[in-house]
Amino acid sequence: MKKVLRRCVYCKKVGSKDEFLRIVRLKNGNILFDNEYKYFGRSVYICKNKNCINNAFSKKKIEKGLKVTNIPQDLKENLKNKLIENIEEVINEKI
C-alpha cells in the first residue's frame, strides 16, 4: 500500500498522518477538527506543536488551505483550543 504523505500548512514539513493534526471542511461548509479521519473533505494538516498551530491560525494558513475567504473568529478560537488541548494530552501521556 502506498504511504500517503501530508504536509504541515505552516512549516511545510512532510510526514505521515499521525504526525499531524487535521482540520477538515465538509461539503456543507462546516469546518471541524477531525483527527480520526472520519470525514471527507478538503483538509489541512498542522504539526503537533504550538508554534505551527499558532502560526497556522494567525497567518491565515487555515483559510488558504481550506480555500475559504474567512473563518469566523469564534470558530477559529474554538478549533485552535481543541488542537492545543490535543497536543497537551499527547504530552501528558508521554510523561
Contact 72, 62 (CB under 8 A): no
Instruction: Report CA-CA distances (Å) from 56 to 8, 27, 64.
Output: 9, 22, 10
Residue 8 binding Zn ion, by CB under 5 A: yes
Q: Which residues contact 63 (CB under 8 A, 6 or more apart)?
A: 69, 70, 71
Considering only 47-55, 59-67, 68-76, 82-90, which stretch makes contact with Zn ion by CB under 5 A? 47-55
Considering only 9-17, 37-45, 60-68, 77-85, which stretch makes contact with Zn ion by CB under 5 A? 9-17
Residue 47 binding Zn ion, by CB under 5 A: yes
Show the cell assigned to 27: 461539503
Q: Which is nearer to Zn ion, 31 or 47 (CB)?
A: 47
**What is the size of the binding site for Zn ion (CB under 5 A)?**
6
Interface with Zn ion (CB under 5 A): 8, 10-11, 13, 47, 52
